[in-house]
Structure 1
């Protein structure tokens, strides 16, 4: 019996079935919903923020009354700005009002914040609302109220002076009287806001530091000056810079209280009020834009000065 040999059966290997991998989305496809969600802010900022900023820079090199053709004058308006006595008077007035309002505001708000953050204070919520309420009150309403307080003839402060046997004082006619009236409005309006900011800074200080100080026998005054104030330096820097920026832009208080001319002798004329008078009172829109950019330089310089003064080497928290 013969055995018939058969050739081996060779099975061809099957081709691998291609596995479809999910297509990876491109970077733009993954991020466009995020960009779309923030697009309204940038659109509004471009229309109401970026465009006016760029246009004011362009306008500062032009002479324009708001109706006729613009005339290119180059740097002439900035050169005139440096020699304008009214502009320098407005700078001095603004700085004096800022000092009269900011220095007491910082001192009082730190003390108020220390008292508000005290564990023995049982009415914290009430004081929070009471101190913050003036900050959200209309500035025009505040100016009208303070106008009745500091009125030369029928003001409540002069009535109090008369009741005490003292002479009346022309608050809205004397140079320092006008500045004190404006600074008092700013102080009353911003005191509670900055007190809450300082209180938040105090609450961020570790309680173990206070407990250790109390165990060592430190009293409240020593805790305040040795622990609280040094550790509030970053908050102090923020408060001084923001108060400087807002103080350089004071407008509504002197405008409502004293008018567009800044009162007798222009002693209540601030930088922004002078800008408003030149641009919308005298229709010198180009020069008003130059004043605005001069104000920007002043704010930047004073912010840098405050930062260097408070944030000294080795004083970082």
Structure 2
């Protein structure tokens, strides 16, 4: 009878520890992420909104409150809308072919083949390569006078193309760089999703005489719909934030007009480059903050529309 008073507190302590472990510890595990997110995500976002309401420059000791004047001026700024068009154009040209090619590569690598592991690992090489090296190499490939691309096109009677000088040509060159960097990465994501598709479905389709393309369209794509939605949304967000490729392309191509301005006619200046130019070249942080907030809202809007359209259209993929 003397052991009963001791066993009851022990069971109580174990119950308390179990409750803390089940109910409290998960929040403790995720707390570091949310603390860092609040410090480096939410606070800068809120502070940028405050700065956007001011005429905020490094030359003035006091910052003048101007309300929504920066946003009103921005909506009538032709350079801002030019950057928005360039961002949309480069994003569409790079994202759509990239995702289609990534699905096809993943489908090929999902089938038995020699050196399968080697080919899968090689898909990550473009992504882990320095973006500086990628842009410098591709700038040489798309060079006007001694570029390999123009040399190959000359076999078919095409004239010399100044890829960095035109709007359409510069967008094609930048889209090619982005596709080369991210197609393999997205292919591995699709490949991971395809590994979870039951093999029996492919075996039954093969017995029924279905071709490889038919299996891809009728089995693989419908089974990995959630992954497709995820990759489309993430790729869309990434396309809206393009900055490194056009910045380095302008610096290495020698097109003139300044790397930050996106060429002499701003033919490949993206929204991120526009924000960078206003904030760190002209030091107009109020105007740059307003532009960054409109860019943020555009990313949210485009990602939301993309999500809704993908969910609506995915029902007809099978």
Q: Deviations over 1:154-193 (max 9, x none)?
A: 2222233345553211111111111111111100000100
Instruction: Say if 2:138 is the partner of 1:138.
Output: no
Q: Which residue matches 1:206? A: 198
The structural deviation recorded for 1:37 is 5.5
Of 229, 239, 242, the residue aligned with 1:250 is 242
Q: Which residue matches 1:13? A: none
Q: Is the 8 A contact 1:233 1:310 kept in 2?
A: no
Q: Deviations over 1:50-100 (max 9, x none)?
A: 321221111111111135321111111111222111111111111110111
Q: Secondary structure at the match of 1:96?
A: helix
Instruction: Say if 2:95 is the partner of 1:102.
Output: yes
Q: Which range is displaced more, 24-33 or 43-52? A: 24-33
Q: Which residue matches 1:80? A: 73
Q: Which residue matches 1:297? A: 297
In structure 1, how many angstroms separate the alpha carbons of the residues matched to 2:73 and 2:183? 38
The structural deviation recorded for 1:150 is 1.1
Consecutive unaligned residues of structure 2, counting only runs of 5 or more, are 251-258
Instruction: Say if 2:275 is the partner of 1:279.
Output: no
1:134-283 pair list within 5 angstroms: 134-162=126-154, 165-258=157-250, 259-283=259-283
Q: Is the 8 A contact 1:131 1:192 kept in 2?
A: yes
Distance change (3 Å), C-alpha of 1:60 and 1:116: same
How many residue pairs get aligned? The number is: 302
Q: Which range is displaced more, 211-220 or 169-178? A: 211-220
Q: CA RMSD in A?
A: 2.6
Q: Which residue matches 2:57? A: 65
- Give TM-score scaled by structure 2 length: 0.86
The structural deviation recorded for 1:39 is 4.9
Select the structure that is richer in helix: 2
